[in-house]
A and B are shown apart, each in its own frame.
Chain A
Amino acid sequence: MARRHVSTRVNGEPVEFLCEPHQTLLDVLRDELQLTGTKEGCGTGDCGACSVMLDGRLICSCLALAAEVEGAEVRTVEGIASGNELHPLQRHFLEEAALQCGICTPGFLVAAKALLDGNPDPTEREVRFALAGNLCRCTGYDKIIRAVLDSAAELRGEA
């Protein structure tokens, strides 16, 4: 099967790549575009380490074909900060020790940003359910949930 040419936008920049027809978006991000911030923990949509935004929706990039993003807008963890200014989520994750090994962190940041973009004032329960697709094995989630809630408060201007 011939490789396909795909034109898309990643983190606001126009990007073109060639991919195998059944190659996942995750593999293309990592292996073709060197955007290795998006991680593979399972390859079957069960851990959320590969979370990205595709046309404004949160998805697992392991469960999307690269061929599908023709003409689309992809955003990854590398696009969360504004230049050198960290997003409040990134800052709170650092300040509140919401990461230990850090492998799940990119996926959590992308998913948490998707949550807060749609719901600026979530309850603890809402945060827990919204992030249930992101596995973390180090933290017991406590500090992650607090960091997300504190980021939300800051974004609302309450902190």
Chain B
Amino acid sequence: MATAEVDQQKKFKWIGTRPVRPDGLDKVRGRANYGADHALPGMIWGKVLRSPHAHARIVSIDTSKAEAMEGVHAVITAADLPEILSEESKIGEGPTNFRDLSHNVIAREKALYHGHAVAAVAATTSAIAQQALEAIQVEYEVLPHVLEGDDAQAPDAPILHDDLFTKGVEPRPTRPSNVASRTEMGRGDAEAGLAKADHVITRSFRTKAVHQGYIEPHAVVATLGEDGRATVWASSQGHFMIRAYCAKLLGMDQSQIKVIPAEIGGGFGGKTTVYLEPLAIALSGKAGRPVKMVMSREEVFRATGPASATRIELRMGCTKDGKLTGAHARLEYEAGAFPGSPVGAAVMTLFAPYDIDGCLAEGYDIVVNKCKVAAYRAPGAPMAAYAVETVVDELAEKCGIDPIEFRLQNASREGTQSAFGPKFKRIGNIETLEAAKAHPHYSAPLGPNQGRGVASGFWFNGGMQSSATVQVADDGTICVVSGNPDIGGSRASLAMMAAEEFGIDVKLVDPQIADTSVVGFSDLTGGSRVTFATGMAVVDACRDVIRQLRERAASIWGIEVDAVKWSDGAARATNGDAGLEPLSLRDIALKAARTGGPISGRASLTARGVGMAFAVHICDVEVDPETGKVDVVRYTTVQDAGRAIHPSYVEGQMQGGAAQGIGWALNEEYIYDADGKMENPGFLDYRMPVASDLPMIDTVIVEVPNPTHPYGVRGVGEVPIVPPIPAVVNAVHAATGVRITELPLSPPRVLAAMDARRN
């Protein structure tokens, strides 16, 4: 167990420095292999036929014409995959039911959204595969569909699942519903708290579905041999997840599937589940050839998992001197076609930055005829923060208190009873607020039509399971093997922690990400957990090796192991035994064959003691009074990273999360027509920020070390997407006087709000 106390004063050799990442060279030379870059001899191409209806019973599928085409090697439908019983997955991000997952990968009785997979083919070229899709005849009985969470709750709404009864309500409902579940969480008496308040703000907020927008579409190459063994090359946030999910969906043993992780071209939570992988394995089995499948961008938008559209009703109150007394929220999150929105996380995070006398949040998970949502960076939290942080801004304004000062007055801190259960341990909420307040940005003058907004954000961060092995080569260099895809520099941070442990140059450490057959089970790259949890596993594995190195040195010297310590890259005798020169890692490695054989260490653990993360963002906007166009002109992110192992990649997470949040606030949205077809399934009309949309994004890393991590690490990846929406919206309010309660703040919406205020 890696439970070493953090020595806050300790000077580190590598931690906190900025070496070039070990995988970087291949990435700037175009040599790194991503999901779509793999090819095998004899490989053929798979493609998916997708439903043209938002809700339809599949009466029949005739694949005979497609099968008869020259060059077509396999056609599959749901009938080629086993029927899966309802069972909750133990791994992955967010609740996953294997029966739902199976039905999402390929529709069985019903197509539940436009773009839902109904059949797949594999052919010698992708052009032939495309023609084969067009030759498949599907008879649909079109059913009434429901696209909005509000409509889905109406008494006469079309029901997506006849066996779905709302969980979490008493008495147990007797009629099926599109409301999959109700959850609630709180502390104290919310209504009593609201009754005490001098100011109560009541607001209703709406947000649209948004996509993670990773630039790399989903891609896979799979083989399934006559012996029933499969090999899968895929980019994902977790190859062990792919192995487990494919085994379950295809009725295979996990030992029959080897998943080799490709480089991953962005995920942000969107690659925490399977879409193509089970189909590629099934097609390969039927065709007897390796099968490659790559989604088009349109398929990525239509048929993978965006973040939920939401409706949030919020009441918050404070005394006239600015003490938050009560809060109540009702959160409705669309899950898409199957239950499992992140509303549970939203209910938990909603009020976390604040110490409120009484608060209650109710969450509703609602199914609609749209693609099933997936995790997206701090799943569920940004929409909830939009509501809370803009209402906090309004309360501060009512009280005449500076918005950061208001937050400081009400900030949760070490020992505060959280609404979601535990008392907060050491957290950096106060420290980030203070740093934001002290930043020159916060007091800089503003120009005409400009306004400044601030907002706080919170995220739990993840622990979960990780494994690592550490191998010593006989030249004294180190290979660190772990099982988490590197999505943004984690190889660098793992190598740096190993170099720090051994006291050697980081260049002597080779961090590798191994396939499912080589390294122990590792949960997803997600939940901001890799540098934290996999870092712990690496540190433990290093310490396992260092223990062995000390033993080898002791045996070489003929002294007790307790008399040998490891420091600065060498074993040293602690009792000052005369003439015992320190033995370096290289010295010991060279003698390994004669002192007990190769030296390697391993660790597998469930990481405990997650360090929760807080962030404060400051945003300046300029609003064109005649067109409603909002430009972000200055932006500063302040975040508690615990300790930044490689500060450049911590800053990168802060900047990237801010940019995604700004896009969510200003322009990104899924637009559907009345038939449930997404109207903007491309980067042209799904408007993610481009380089000229953004200013430099300033970063302030606050370090309140997490006492339970050997280097004080807190997860850093997710919390930066939590404050941007309210920071932007509060800034627009400051610039224009309008408070906009529906996203995105597109120019037509902003201009309409400004005109309404002017008239």
Contact B656 A103 (CB under 8 A): no
A77 surroundings in chain B (CB, below 8 A): 29-30
Taken together as a complex, chains A and B put the C-alpha atoms of A135 and B689 apart, in Å, by 8
Closest to A100 in B: B488
CB distance from B531 to the nearest CB of A (A): 13
Q: Using Cβ atoms and an 8 Å threshold, which residues of chain B touch A72?
A: none
Range of interface residues on B (Cβ < 8 Å): 35 or more
In the bound complex, how far is the Cα of B37 from the Cα of A42, in angstroms? Answer: 15
Tell me whether chain B's interface is mostly helix, strand or loop, or mixed.
loop
**Chain B 657-669 per-residue mask, 1 if CB under 8 angstroms from chain A, else 0:** 1111000000000
B674 at the binding interface (Cβ < 8 Å) = no
Q: Which of A36, A40, A101, A136 contacts B217 (CB 8 A)?
A: A40
CB of A94 within 8 A of CB of B29, answer: no
**Distance (Å) between the CB of B295 and the closest chain A CB?**
10
Give the residue name and chain of the A residue nearest to B266 (CB). Answer: A101
The reply to whether the CB of A61 lies closer than 8 angstroms to some CB of chain B is: no
| With A37-B29, A101-B266, A135-B683 as contacts: A94 and B21 at CB distance below 8 Å | yes
Q: Say if the beta carbon of A16 comes within 8 Å of chain B.
A: no
* Chain A residues with CB below 8 A from B688, complex form: 135, 137
CB distance from B654 to the nearest CB of A (A): 8
**Which residues of the partner chain B approach A94 to less than 8 Å between Cβ atoms?**
20-21, 24-25, 28
| Chain B residues with CB below 8 A from A47, complex form | 215, 297, 683
0/1 interface trace, chain B 285-324, chain A, CB 8 Å (1 if under):
0000000001011000000000000000000000000000
Chain B proximity of A59: nearest CB distance (Å): 17
Residue-wise, chain B 250-278 has the 8 Å CB interface mask toward A (1 for contact) of 00000000000001111110000000000
Give CA–CA (A86, B29) in the complex, Å.
Answer: 8
CB distance from A34 to the nearest CB of B (A): 8
Can you list, as one digit per residue, whether each of A30-41 has a CB less than 8 Å from chain B (1) or not (0)? 110011111111
Q: Is A114 an interface residue (CB 8 A)?
A: no
Using A20-B127, A103-B216 as known contacts, say yes or no to A46 and B683 having CB atoms under 8 A apart.
Answer: yes
Q: Does B691 contact A (CB under 8 A)?
A: yes
**Is B94's beta carbon under 8 Å from chain A?**
no
- Whose C-beta in chain B lies nearest to the C-beta of A102? B27
Q: In the bound complex, do residue A96 and residue B648 qualify as a contact, i.e. CB atoms below 8 Å apart?
A: yes
Min CB gap B391→A, angstroms: 27
Is A141 on the interface with B (CB-CB < 8 A)?
yes
Cβ of B697 < 8 Å from any Cβ of A? yes
**Would you call B24 and A140 a contact (CB within 8 A)?**
no
Residue with the highest number of chain A CB atoms closer than 10 Å, among B30, B37, B488: B30
Indicate whether A44 reaches chain B with its CB closer than 8 angstroms: yes
Inter-chain CA distance A80–B28, complex, in Å, is: 9
Neighbouring A residues of B20 by C-beta, 8 Å? 94-95
Is B696's CB within 8 Å of the partner chain A?
yes
> With a CB–CB cut-off of 8 A, which chain B residues contact A39?
34, 36, 215-216, 265
Contact check, A127 vs B691: say whether CB atoms are below 8 A apart.
Answer: yes
CB-CB under 8 A for A129 and B214, given A41-B297, A77-B29, A140-B655: no
> Is B214's CB under 8 angstroms from A137's CB?
yes
Contact among A96, A104, A140 with B215 in the assembled complex (CB-CB below 8 Å): A104
Taking the nearest CB of chain A, how far is it from the CB of B37, in angstroms? 4
**Within the complex, what minimum Cβ distance (angstroms) separates A17 from chain B?**
15
Chain B positions within 8 Å of A99 at CB level: 24, 27-28
Whether A42 lies near B29 (C-beta < 8 A) is: no
Shortest Cβ distance from residue A30 to the other chain B in the assembled complex, whole angstroms: 8
Q: A49-B215, A100-B652, A101-B266 are in contact. Are A76 and B659 (CB under 8 A)?
A: no
**Min distance, Cβ A83 to any Cβ of chain B, angstroms:** 11
Q: Is the CB of A40 within 8 A of B29?
A: no
The CA-CA distance from A42 to B299 in the complex, in Å, is: 10
> How far is B24's CA from A70's CA once the two chains are assembled, in angstroms?
34
Q: Which of B127, B268, B696 has the most CB of A within 10 A?
A: B696
Return the chain B residue nearest A143 by Cβ.
B652
How distant is the Cα of A139 from the Cα of B487 in the complex, in angstroms? 12
User: Which of A35, A80, A90, A131 makes the CB contact (< 8 A) with B691?
Assistant: A131
- B684 contacts the other chain (Cβ, under 8 Å)? yes
Chain B proximity of A28: nearest CB distance (Å) = 13
B30 touches which of A78, A131, A143 (Cβ 8 Å): A78
Kindly supply a per-residue 1/0 record for chain A positions 96-132, scoring 1 wherever the CB is within 8 Å of any chain B CB and 0 otherwise: 1101111111100100000000000000110111011
- Residues in chain A near residue B216, CB distance under 8 A: 39, 41, 101, 103
Contacting residues of chain B (207-243) with chain A, CB-CB under 8 angstroms: 212-217
Task: Identify 25 residue pairs between A and B in the complex whose beta-carbon atoms are under 8 Å apart, listed by A's number.
Answer: A36-B33, A36-B37, A42-B682, A42-B683, A77-B30, A86-B29, A93-B28, A94-B20, A94-B25, A95-B20, A97-B648, A100-B489, A101-B264, A102-B27, A102-B32, A103-B216, A105-B27, A105-B28, A128-B692, A135-B683, A138-B652, A140-B652, A140-B658, A142-B696, A145-B696
What residues of chain B have their CB less than 8 Å away from a CB belonging to chain A? 18, 20-21, 23-25, 27-34, 36-37, 39, 127, 212-217, 263-268, 294, 296-297, 487-489, 646, 648-649, 651-653, 655-660, 682-684, 688-694, 696-697
Given pairs A36-B33, A49-B215, A97-B18, 17 additional interface contacts (CB within 8 A): A41-B217, A41-B683, A44-B682, A78-B31, A94-B24, A94-B25, A95-B20, A97-B21, A97-B648, A101-B263, A101-B267, A101-B487, A127-B691, A129-B691, A137-B212, A142-B696, A143-B655
